[in-house]
Amino acid sequence: MTKLRNTQPALYWCGVALVAIALIALPLVLTLVGTAWVRITNLAILFTFLALGLNIVVGFAGLLDLGYIAFYAVGAYVYALLASPHFGLHLPFWIILPIGAFCACVAGALLGAPTLRLRGDYLAIVTLGFGEIVRILINNLSSPFNITNGPKGITRIDPLQIGSVEFYNSDTWLGILFTGPAKYYYILLLILMAVIVINLRLQQSRIGRAWVAIREDEVAAKSCGINTRNIKLLAFAMGASFGGIAGGMFSAIQGFVSPESFILQESIMVLSMVVLGGMGNVWGVIAGALLLSFVPELLRYTVQPAQQALFGRMLIDPEVLRMLIFGAALVLTMRFRPAGLWPESRHRQEFSGEHRT
């Protein structure tokens, strides 16, 4: 990419412009197909945030985290509590999102601090427990003081509002109809760009190098003078704050949160996105997140008509078949591309065994 920019700048910038136009036009085109698809795209972007955040912990620093969705939950509930009739608070989103990110960041450090000496499977078990604790807390913090409203969740969360633009209804600008989800899409796209830039910069920074060192060999990292404790905590905290931002946006878009959005399966889903896409490579992780978000939805809409056309009737329940195909696709990908679809060069070496002599 950088090579193309240097050798043929015109071609490079044309490419960039085309991608930009495509990204801007996408929700308008999808609206014509069905607003549902714009919503699906928005959720896919939210999951991309999550996958990029988890990639910091798992991909960069090599710390296996199975409870990542907890930070998404923290961000979502912070938004829900501060902008809904539940407490009668209606703070603007630009105050709540940073608060949510900060709370998730603190939660990340809280998880990181006691687990500093753990790695691999042991760390995975502790993080799994942490994720469950957060979910169960949310489920039960309804008495004696009603904080989270328990399993019923929190409803009527304020939608986003920037100036006079409200995000829950449609607007017609320049003769083009912009639905609510389409407007959210643009906000999410902007945040996504920022998140991608932050991730790429982090990877090339001194902190990024320290993460790689810790991932590769912790004792050697220490003997290079890396403060492994702080650098690991930083990975947890930064990863968590991305999750918190994603959670806040989720609350605003959905208008409703409940504990069942934050089950273990969601953590595993985000981890699958990171691993399938290619741990440590920002673009691979984005590809993994988009793929795992869209493919199940595509299957949802195609499995039933395909069966009708082939056999004239429904043989297998579409929901079952969908998950079956999805699972098989995961297994096959990991069989034939064990380092992920688009791995970071170092992870690729690990699986091809290049460095063994």
Partner 1 sequence: MSAAGPILEVRDLHVAYGGIVAVKGVSFEVANGETVCLIGANGAGKTTTLKALTRLLPARGTLHYDGQSLLQRPPHELIGAGMTLVPEGRGVFARLTVAENLNMGAYCRRDKVGITVDRERIFGLLPRLKERAKQVAGTLSGGEQQMLAIGRALMSRPRLLLLDEPSMGLAPMMVQKVFEVIRSVAAQGVTILLVEQNARLALSVAARGYVMESGRITLTDAAPALLANPKVREAYLGE
Which residues contribute to the site for partner 1 (CB under 8 A)?
206, 209-210, 212-213, 216-217, 219-229, 346, 349-350, 354-357
Q: Residues 289, 73: contact at Cβ < 8 Å?
A: no
In the complex, minimum distance from the CB of residue 354 to partner 1, in angstroms, rounded to a whole number = 7
Q: What kind and span of H or E run contains 50?
A: helix 35-55
Nearer to partner 1, 169 or 227 (CB): 227
- Joined tokens for residue 214: 């810790």
- In this complex, which beta carbon is closest to partner 1, that of residue 121 or of residue 354? 354
CB of 109 to partner 1, least distance (A): 18
What are the tokens at 345? 């060069």
CA pair distance 287, 279, nearest whole angstrom:
11
Going from the C-alpha of 353 to that of each of 217, 331, 340, the distances in angstroms are 18, 21, 15
CB of 350 to partner 1, least distance (A): 6
Between 62 and 277, whose beta carbon lies closer to partner 1? 62
Q: Which is nearer to partner 1, 337 or 346 (CB)?
A: 346
User: Minimum distance between the CB of residue 338 and partner 1, rounded to whole angstroms?
Assistant: 15
Taking CA atoms, 97 is separated from 82, 104, 267, in Å, by 10, 11, 21
* Residue 161 three-state SS: strand
Cβ-based nearer residue to partner 1, 210 or 253: 210
Assess contact for 71 and 270: CB atoms under 8 A.
no
Q: Helices 228-254 & 93-112, crossing angle to 10 degrees?
A: 140
Q: Output the smallest distance, CB 114 to partner 1, in A.
A: 18
Q: Among residues 46, 70, 74, 48, which one has the least CA distance to residue 127? A: 70
* SS3 assignment, position 155: coil
**Residues forming beta bridges with residue 108, ordered by sequence position:** none
Q: In angstroms, give the least distance from the CB of 345 to partner 1.
A: 9
Residue 203 CB, nearest distance to partner 1 (Å)?
14
Work out how close the CB of 215 gets to partner 1 at its nearest, in angstroms, rounded to a whole number: 9
Closer to partner 1 by Cβ: residue 215 or 322? 215
Q: Which is nearer to partner 1, 27 or 59 (CB)?
A: 59
Q: Which is nearer to partner 1, 86 or 348 (CB)?
A: 348
Cα separations in angstroms, 154 against 63, 151, 180? 33, 9, 21
Q: By C-beta, is 209 or 337 nearer to partner 1?
A: 209
72, containing H or E segment: helix 69-82
Q: Give least dist CB 193 to partner 1, A.
A: 29
Q: Distance between CA atoms of 243 and 237, rounded to whole angstroms?
A: 10
**Which one-letter DSSP state was computed for residue 338?**
T
Burial 269-280 (b: 16+ CB within 10 A, else e): bbbbbbbbbbbb
